[in-house]
Amino acid sequence: MVGRFQVMATLQAARAKVLGLPLDSAKSWGLNRAIFYAAAKKGFIKPKYPPKEIKIPEKVVEEEMRREIAKTFEIYHLGDEMAYSVKLGKKRMFMIGNEIQTPESFYKQVESRFGEKFEKAWEEALNICKSYDKGILQSQRYFYETVYKPRRDELVKKWSNL
């Protein structure tokens, strides 16, 4: 079953891809923003950055590698929206708290909910985002109000029945 979380993550990933991020980074962005909005809905405390410890879900990371990753910590802006990021190799990945949102995490929390139909939903999400002016995609507020909010429930239903 696809829910609003998966719709937000997929549309945000498509938005990031259309605005020029590579696919893996776009998926990281999409999951990051879905987690961010879910936390914002419940209310959260702003942490101090950079984090003392960095976690890569489902991977054991040696201390030396953690230190190298921490050195790449920076704030990244996609339009007027910002997120904390690090580089894993040459790939930019986004993080909330001390946890990096990886393409594997995107698969586990988003793609797997679609079963074999994710590619169809992904193509639709890309087409939706491509149909908007870049100014709308670059605005956190306009993206949420114009792209996501009016169609979120329609896409939950449609993508759940693919």
Residues 24-49 have pLDDT tens digits of 999 999 999 999 998 877 765 565 56
pTM, rounded to two decimals: 0.88
By residue range, what is the domain housing residue 21? 4-160
Instruction: Name the average pLDDT for the chain.
Output: 91
Report pLDDT digits (tens) over 43-68: 655 655 666 666 666 565 678 888 88
Count the domains in the chain.
1
Q: How high is the pLDDT of residue 70?
A: 87
Which residue blocks in 1-160 are alpha helix, DSSP H?
A: 4-18, 23-42, 63-71, 103-109, 118-130, 134-137, 140-142, 152-160
Sheet containing 81-88: give its strands across. 74-78, 81-88, 91-96, 99-101
DSSP β-ladder status, 81-88 and 91-96: antiparallel
